[in-house]
Amino acid sequence: MHNKKVTKDEKKNTKTKDVNEHIPNYIKNLPWYYQDIDKNSKNNSKEQDYLRHHRQRRDDKTIDIDNNDQAKIGTGIKDEFEVIVENKKTTIDGIIKRRKDEKDWDARKDRWYGYSGKEYEEVLKKWEKSREDLNNTTEESAYDTDEEIEMMKLGLTPKDLEQNIKGSSVRLREDKAAYLKDIYSSTTNYDPKSRLYKSDDLGSIDEHSNMFLRHLTGEGKELNDLNKFARENAKESGIRDELVDADKVNHVLVANPTKLEVLRKQKELDSLKLTEEQNRQEQRKLKRKAKLLKKKAKKPKGTPQSDSTKAQLMDMYG
């Protein structure tokens, strides 16, 4: 290790004590807020400790370090208080007086401590008022508006409620449960787990999986139709599942949903145009046939010849 150079100030301040050269500068040097105090201090003697800013107990009281080990005397209760009135400090003489509490510890720990009898009297008055209001109410106003509306819908009156007359059953006797249809049938169409009765209106049984599948409706049906169109379009373009093809990505529904949807709409429009054109051509053919039929020779119309006239003509012209 290289020996550190000692400054001139350190040599002056350390005539009697040797300076430890191994102490770093950030420990040895005084901070900026201590240097001003050191210059103004009266005990700025020649023989000063260069590590005095680290000492807890010193002879000179230039630097005050907070030491919690030593006992301290508090300032005590002040009789004068500073009050700011219109941006000016003024002192007010005052004496802090403690309130005399006549109640002892047992009184303060009592369960009814701080509770007055006047509050309970007010509660009793409220209860009496509520009882009087209930007694003064008539039978018509006893029911709430929501209850009255519900009773009107059910066709009931307050007298019916008193007599406990039950309304007619909402469900008819002819309305039987769906699972009762399987009692005398060989096949079970009711699934108790899904609570679904298998019928042709709701769905059909798949031949491959032998499972009952519901008929798709709404967006599910549209997505299924679009998936079928994507598969057919891929087959038309020569793409197969067993072969590896880079163009296969362009015909996948998940990768190109909007593209295939637009393509399907375009093909539907083209098919509509073709059907319209075919219908027009058929109408033209029918019109041509009608014109040709009008131009053909018509059978003569007149009175038929009698047998005598026919015989005379045969004799004359052979």
Q: Is 87 left (phi over 0), alpha (psi -120 to 50) or beta?
A: left
In this structure, the answer to whether residues 195 and 243 fall within a common structural domain is no
Within a domain: 204? yes
- Note the pLDDT of residue 200: 72
Q: What percent of the chain is predicted at pLDDT more than 70?
A: 70
In this structure, the answer to whether residues 230 and 207 fall within a common structural domain is no
CA angle, 250 then 254 then 256, to 5°: 40
Q: What sign does the CA torsion over 46, 49, 55, 57 have?
A: negative
pLDDT in tens, 71-80: 666 666 666 6
- Note the pLDDT of residue 155: 80
Within a domain: 294? no
Within a domain: 312? no
Predicted confidence (pLDDT) at residue 97 exceeds the cutoff of 80: no
Predicted confidence (pLDDT) at residue 143 exceeds the cutoff of 90: no
Predicted confidence (pLDDT) at residue 125 exceeds the cutoff of 90: yes
- Note the pLDDT of residue 221: 87
More confident residue, 262 or 159: 262
Residues 257, 313: Cα–Cα separation, whole Å:
88
Name the least confident of 3-7, 193-197, 275-279, 313-317: 3-7
CA 166 remoteness from chain centre: 45
How many helices and strands in the chain, by DSSP H and E? 10, 6
Predicted confidence (pLDDT) at residue 318 exceeds the cutoff of 50: yes
pLDDT band at 277 (very low <50, low <70, confident <90, very high): very high
Classify each residue of 82-103 as buried b or exposed e, where b means 16 or more C-beta atoms within 10 Å of its C-beta. eeeeeeeeeeeeeeeeeeeeee
In this structure, the answer to whether residues 203 and 220 fall within a common structural domain is no
- Note the pLDDT of residue 49: 76
Cβ(78)–Cβ(96) under 8 Å?
Answer: no
Residues 262, 268: Cα–Cα separation, whole Å:
10
Within a domain: 40? yes
In this structure, the answer to whether residues 201 and 248 fall within a common structural domain is no
Average pLDDT over residues 248-277: 88
Partners of residue 90 on adjacent β-strands: 83
More confident residue, 246 or 4: 246
Mean of pLDDT over the chain = 75
Within a domain: 28? yes
Give the global pTM: 0.32
Cβ(212)–Cβ(203) under 8 Å?
Answer: yes
Q: In the block, which residue shows the tokens 């073709």?
A: 274
Domain closes at, from 214, 236, 271: 214
Predicted confidence (pLDDT) at residue 94 exceeds the cutoff of 60: no
**Residue 289 contacts by C-beta under 8 Å, 6 or more apart in sequence?**
none
How many other C-beta atoms lie within 10 A of the C-beta of residue 306? 9
pLDDT band at 105 (very low <50, low <70, confident <90, very high): confident
The DSSP result for 62-123, as a single string, is SS----TTS--------SEEEEESSS-EEEEE----PPP----HHHHTSTTTT--HHHHHHH
In this structure, the answer to whether residues 27 and 37 fall within a common structural domain is yes
pLDDT band at 16 (very low <50, low <70, confident <90, very high): very low
Within a domain: 293? no
In this structure, the answer to whether residues 220 and 259 fall within a common structural domain is yes
Range list of β-strands (E), the chain: 80-84, 89-93, 190-191, 196-197, 203-205, 212-214
pLDDT band at 1 (very low <50, low <70, confident <90, very high): very low
Within a domain: 122? no
In this structure, the answer to whether residues 277 and 235 fall within a common structural domain is yes
- Note the pLDDT of residue 77: 66
Predicted confidence (pLDDT) at residue 81 exceeds the cutoff of 50: yes
In this structure, the answer to whether residues 231 and 283 fall within a common structural domain is yes
Average pLDDT over residues 62-77: 62
Q: Domain limits at 24?
A: 8-54
Directed axis angle between helix 257-295 and helix 219-236, to 10°? 80
In this structure, the answer to whether residues 182 and 229 fall within a common structural domain is no
Q: Is 86 left (phi over 0), alpha (psi -120 to 50) or beta?
A: left
Residues counted in the chain:
318
In this structure, the answer to whether residues 250 and 208 fall within a common structural domain is no
Domain count of the chain? 3
Most confident of 6-10, 58-62, 304-308: 304-308
Within a domain: 121? no
In this structure, the answer to whether residues 235 and 278 fall within a common structural domain is yes
Average pLDDT over residues 195-223: 80
- Note the pLDDT of residue 127: 93
pLDDT band at 269 (very low <50, low <70, confident <90, very high): very high
In this structure, the answer to whether residues 194 and 222 fall within a common structural domain is no
Tell how strand 203-205 and strand 190-191 pair up.
unpaired
More confident residue, 119 or 3: 119
Domain closes at, from 168, 189, 214: 214
